[in-house]
A = this chain, B = another copy of it.
């Protein structure tokens, strides 16, 4: 075992698009742990769109990521030293250690993972925060009935793919929106959505209209902007919208809703949410998602970058939609 490890810190806040020089790779000595602490070697880092928001110094639901500190983020890894009676060397654990090969925890927010039937990386995706985000928005906000039409943007992603598969199980007509023919084919053929609209094909409104002949009853929105406006234009009366993300505006542009009148004319309900504020429902959600992944009923796909140095480029690609499924960084 080497005596050093690498991490990535936020070097500067982005001006518009995130650039590689907003990050800095550092090499540090592996620390000694104190009584009560655990030393963890991470196997996978999670890269998620919400991190873009944290890079800003703006009023939002969470404090900004500090400059010169390890980039935040979910991690799964293995205990390599422990002075905490709750954890033993070899335990697989979920944490929020950030973009780092090695981290120290007091154990309070660490959770032991069972990898007998669920792969370790899935705890960062379908059986983790993204899966819970999908489950919460669908079951608590959208509440679709059998036969209703559900639309999901960023449909091939870590969140959208779970929303659509769960909605299919509820008997809904499920239409995805994704970028490119390959992602759309995956969404329909592998995930079982009824249709998928390729927003890059240049006829978003016409294609979405064709895919939603009975209008739209519920939307899971990850993107915002033009894509959200296209869904709004198809809403049925009393439609429900779970607003999860607005990745189209993560480079700092203002995001407008142009079809605002639709909220009134169609009597829509829109709710923005952050799943980490609803921890009371996590046990129920994780139990359901875990059972479905273990049985193979819930499918998921990963984009895996290799090595901690690849994290910034992988994250920049994620913001541009270059990932295909849950974006991870595998540490060697």
Interchain CB contact under 8 A, A59 and B265: yes
Given A267-B272, A271-B268, A274-B267, A246 contacting B261 (CB threshold 8 A): yes
Interchain CB contact under 8 A, B61 and A265: yes
Question: Which of these, B60, B265, B266, B267, contacts A265 with CB under 8 Å?
Answer: B60
The proximity string for A residues 236-250 relative to B, scoring 1 for CB distances below 8 Å and 0 otherwise, is 010000011110010
Mark out the residues of chain A between 247 and 285 whose CB falls within 8 Å of any chain B CB in the assembled complex: 249, 254-261, 263-274, 277
Q: Which residues of B contact A255 (CB under 8 A)?
A: 260-261
Number of copies: 2
Given A224-B260, A237-B61, A261-B255, A271 contacting B269 (CB threshold 8 A): yes
Tell me the smallest distance from the CB of A213 to a CB of chain B, in Å: 16
Question: Which of these, B61, B259, B260, B267, contacts A267 with CB under 8 Å?
Answer: B61
Mark out the residues of chain A between 47 and 105 whose CB falls within 8 Å of any chain B CB in the assembled complex: 53, 59-61
Tell me the smallest distance from the CB of A162 to a CB of chain B, in Å: 19
Question: Which of these, B61, B246, B266, B274, contacts A260 with CB under 8 Å?
Answer: B246
A277 to B59, CA, bound (A): 37
Interchain CB contact under 8 A, B266 and A261: no
Question: Which of these, B237, B243, B264, contacts A263 with CB under 8 Å?
Answer: B243
Q: Which residues of B contact A249 (CB under 8 A)?
A: 261
Question: Which of these, B61, B256, B266, B277, contacts A61 with CB under 8 Å?
Answer: B266
Question: Which of these, B261, B268, B272, contacts A268 with CB under 8 Å?
Answer: B272
Mark out the residues of chain A between 118 and 137 whose CB falls within 8 Å of any chain B CB in the assembled complex: none
Interchain CB contact under 8 A, B265 and A254: no
A249 to B258, CA, bound (A): 12
Tell me the smallest distance from the CB of A69 to a CB of chain B, in Å: 22
**Which single residue of chain B is at the shortest CB-CB distance from A60?**
B265
A269 to B261, CA, bound (A): 16
Q: Which residues of B contact A237 (CB under 8 A)?
A: 61
A271 to B263, CA, bound (A): 7
Interchain CB contact under 8 A, A264 and B245: yes
A85 to B184, CA, bound (A): 65
**Which single residue of chain B is at the shortest CB-CB distance from A239?**
B272
Given A61-B237, A261-B246, A267 contacting B273 (CB threshold 8 A): yes
> Which of the listed residues A244, A254, A255, A260 has the most CB atoms from chain B within 10 Å of its own CB?
A260
Tell me the smallest distance from the CB of A79 to a CB of chain B, in Å: 35
Q: Which residues of B contact A245 (CB under 8 A)?
A: 264
Question: Which of these, B224, B246, B258, B270, contacts A269 with CB under 8 Å?
Answer: B270
Q: Which residues of B contact A224 (CB under 8 A)?
A: 260-261
Mark out the residues of chain A between 217 and 233 whose CB falls within 8 Å of any chain B CB in the assembled complex: 224
Q: Which residues of B contact A256 (CB under 8 A)?
A: 256-258, 260
Tell me the smallest distance from the CB of A171 to a CB of chain B, in Å: 25
